[in-house]
Amino acid sequence: APDGLLRVWPGLGADPQIQAGVVGVILLLPLFGWRWLARAQRRAVLTWLVFAFGLAAGAFAFVLLYETYVPLRVGPRRLLPYELFVPVVFLAIDLLLLQRLVHWVAGRALAGRANVMRSAVGVVVVAVIALFVARAPLSQGPVGEEDESFGLERTGYDAYGWIAQNTPPGSRILTSAYTDGIVAALTRRVGIVDGRAVYLEDAPFLREALEHLLGARVVFGAPAAPGAVDYLRDERVDYLLVTGPEANGRTLGGYPVFEVDLAALDAQPYLRLLLTFGDDRLRLYEVEVDSAATITRGVHSP
């Protein structure tokens, strides 16, 4: 299931299995309570089930048709999370069923004093469970690949700030992850793989974005390859901002990072290491292909 679908409920400790279980209960309750639904409510359930299957089929078709990761990324970060419509509507129907259940239990309790104590115990149990759920801490476990793209670490903020203050205006920066405009926003410089998320854009824009991404992967993964130098020259790259072994997408404020061969980058004569940030979580290299822009050289670690 899409990762965004599980975020309909944080769960107890945000455990993915519990999240999936909660979503499953939300979707199944209207079916188990079918006999207590009015005709219009049954029609709504069937309509949204058809929508859910159609949405799943469409997403599967996109995965088969496109060779890029883009169609796999669904809400709730930037796109309207259409897949959440289904559990939200079903949750509304669940609440209706719960209301009818409460009225039925209350009616039986009022019908005889013997049931009052049982109802009171039931209310206490429900209240305790609700309190436990409300106070359950969110998971502090490792961040998944989808979550790596959320936010910006302090290390990345420091790197972007240094670039903004110490590089010539108009410098062109290549980062080891695709970013959604954060390079331009924080440095006022040009990011080669920085811009709006491509998703299902028009064909020319998508083609250009993919060419930039594929070329960047060559630069960071195989910097000794002839294509790497050609790419840097064609794109007039002045600086590389590279993630270290301990970094992830949040370090740059972007998507999951590319594969990086740091040893090969250090061995290239056209690259000069200028700075490291955050205990080598980020490295800034100056590119010296065909007289790229230069600044004061030296290695520092702020």
The model's pLDDT over 77-130, given as tens digits with 9 standing for 90+, comes to 445 556 667 777 777 788 778 777 777 766 665 555 555 666 666 667 767 766
Which of these, 259, 254, 257, lies nearest to 198 by C-alpha position? 254
pTM over 0.75: no
Interval 145-194: pLDDT, tens: 444 445 789 999 999 999 999 999 999 999 999 888 889 999 999 999 98
CATH 3.40.50 in the chain is located at 148-287
| Angle of CA points 161, 163, 165, to nearest 5° | 70
Cβ pair 11, 22 in contact under 8 A: yes
pLDDT at 1: 41
Average pLDDT, the chain: 75
Residues 6+ apart with CB under 8 A from 131: none
Q: How far apart are the C-alpha atoms of 24 and 16, rounded to whole Å?
A: 12
Per-residue DSSP letter, 71: G
Residues 6+ apart with CB under 8 A from 153: 250, 251, 253, 278, 281
pLDDT at 36: 79
- Tokens standing for residue 295: 């600044």
Q: How far apart are the C-alpha atoms of 165 and 158, rounded to whole Å?
A: 11
Q: How far apart are the C-alpha atoms of 267 and 294, rounded to whole Å?
A: 19
Q: Is 141 a residue whose pLDDT tops 80?
A: no
pLDDT at 95: 79
Provide φ and ψ at 241, rounded to 5°: -110, 110
Q: How far apart are the C-alpha atoms of 37 and 235, rounded to whole Å?
A: 62
pLDDT at 152: 86
Q: How far apart are the C-alpha atoms of 180 and 168, rounded to whole Å?
A: 22
- Residue 290 burial class via C-beta count within 10 angstroms: exposed 0-12, middle 13-18, buried 19 and up: exposed
Pick the most confident of 71-85, 138-152, 196-210, 272-286: 272-286
Q: Is 64 a residue whose pLDDT tops 80?
A: no
> Taking the C-alpha atoms of 225, 230, 262 and 146 in order, what is their torsion angle to the nearest 10 degrees?
-110
What CATH number matches the domain at 148-287, 3.30.930, 1.20.120, 2.60.40, 3.40.50?
A: 3.40.50
